[in-house]
Amino acid sequence: MQSFVLNTKFPEAAASRVCIQRLGKQLIARGHRVVFNDWNHYDQYDVVLFMSYDPEVEAARKQNPKIIIGIGDPKPQQIDTTARDADFLLVSSLEQRDLFLRANANPFIFPMFPEIPRIEKTHRQNEILRIGYHGNKAHLHSISPHITSALEELGKHRKVEFWAMYNIEKLGSWKFGLPDPKLVTVKHIQWHPNHYEKYLSQVDIGIIPNTILGSYYEKKKKTSKMFKYFFGTSQEDYLTRFKFSSNSGRLYVFSQLGIPVVSDFFPTAAQFLEHGNRGFLAHSAEGWYSCLLKLAESADLRQKLAANLRAYIDENADFDKTTEELTTLLAQLKPKEQVPVQITDMNSWARVFGYLSLLFEYSIHGNALTRAIFLKSKLLLKRKSLETPIESL
């Protein structure tokens, strides 16, 4: 058995509730020694876990060179500092893991799931279709026009309510991008841990808007002829943007409440939902409407997809199993034994050569303006190469 100290000065933060409080309970249940918030005796422990907002990596390493150091929910600004100096990281998803591999060889995907009661829900066809959301107010700002339009289209054919649960007291009411009140009734619900069961459990369908505002509009920008020639681009190509910390937390809540989900495109959603088997994925307004309509018209389908998602999470993201995998990893780690693989991007001049090779190809077929740009770039590069040592190219 190992000896753990789990430290944070912000125990009520969402990530701390999981990485410190819930993980601590699991470790104690497995017979490990766990102490919370001991900032002065690192020499007495095998493993210390800090949260990203208050790490003391240097102090812990100095006091106990053999201690294994972890950081929960690391942030991008820590890539070249504490995330690199730690021995392991607790990340919430494929997206976050991929980002931090450049800083640390051991980013461990740990389910950042809140503790909520599991409800056995029986779906029925009701007069009012209730669609629910929970999470950050910022995602609500990004549901227009694609999700808003889909909700309004549904509202033309049936009674639709949209229940949005977010932190109104701290962030204020959501006012941008709401659906037409004549078609969809919006209910604003103050976020609270007890409100998952009290309110959100009553909805028929859950939605996961995750695309950052601008992605939908970027798609509508015209594509230049040069880009079309070089890269085979189309004006209808997808340009989607999502947070590095996108994860399965919101999916998990709906799964425990027995509610099927429609989500924006992002890797973790695709992994968990497997479109059509455990939920639906959509990007366009038409895509969202199609998915929502299928679920609205069939209580049996809602029941099936909700059950499939819960079963998948039980099998692949179970908190007990993940904790066991984590302790196995930690038992094998040695302080700073693993060095991350760092793949350096091409330097600026190498990129210039790459671009010019494309321009050369296009200059044979392109118009007079493009050929002129190519020739001018070639002359500038030649002049620069005479001034720059070959080692720096």
89 and 208 in a single domain? The answer is: no
Domain assignment of residue 292, yes or no: yes
Sheet holding 159-166, edge to edge: 184-190, 159-166, 128-134, 205-208, 261-263, 280-281
Contact 29, 52 (CB under 8 A): no
- Give the lowest-confidence range in 94-108, 184-198, 262-276, 333-347: 333-347
Domain assignment of residue 323, yes or no: yes
Query: Which CATH number goes with the domain that contains 88?
Result: 3.40.50.2000
261 and 281 in a single domain? The answer is: yes
Domain assignment of residue 253, yes or no: yes
pTM over 0.85: no
Domain count, the chain: 3
Report which residue type is found at 338: Q
- Give the lowest-confidence range in 239-243, 272-276, 283-287, 323-327: 239-243
> Which pLDDT does position 281 carry in this prediction?
97
Angstrom distances, CA of residue 324 to CA of 17, 46, 92, 319, 372: 18, 17, 16, 9, 63
294 and 323 in a single domain? The answer is: no
Domain assignment of residue 338, yes or no: no
pLDDT digits (tens, 9 = 90+) for 178-204: 999 999 999 999 999 999 999 999 999
Domain that holds residue 388: 348-392
61 and 141 in a single domain? The answer is: no
CA dihedral over 244, 246, 249, 252, signed as positive or negative: negative
pLDDT digits (tens, 9 = 90+) for 64-75: 999 999 999 999
250 and 385 in a single domain? The answer is: no
Contact 86, 57 (CB under 8 A): yes
pLDDT at 44 over 70: yes
Domain assignment of residue 337, yes or no: no
> Which pLDDT does position 204 carry in this prediction?
98
3-state secondary structure of 105: coil
138 and 254 in a single domain? The answer is: yes
Give the separation between CA 300 and CA 137, rounded to whole angstroms: 31
Domain assignment of residue 121, yes or no: no
Q: pLDDT > 90: what percent of the chain? A: 68
pLDDT digits (tens, 9 = 90+) for 329-377: 999 988 876 556 666 554 555 555 555 555 555 555 455 555 555 555 5
Q: What is the mean pLDDT of the chain?
A: 86
pLDDT digits (tens, 9 = 90+) for 194-234: 999 999 999 999 999 998 865 555 555 555 566 666 667 67
260 and 181 in a single domain? The answer is: yes
End of a domain among 332, 365, 384?
332
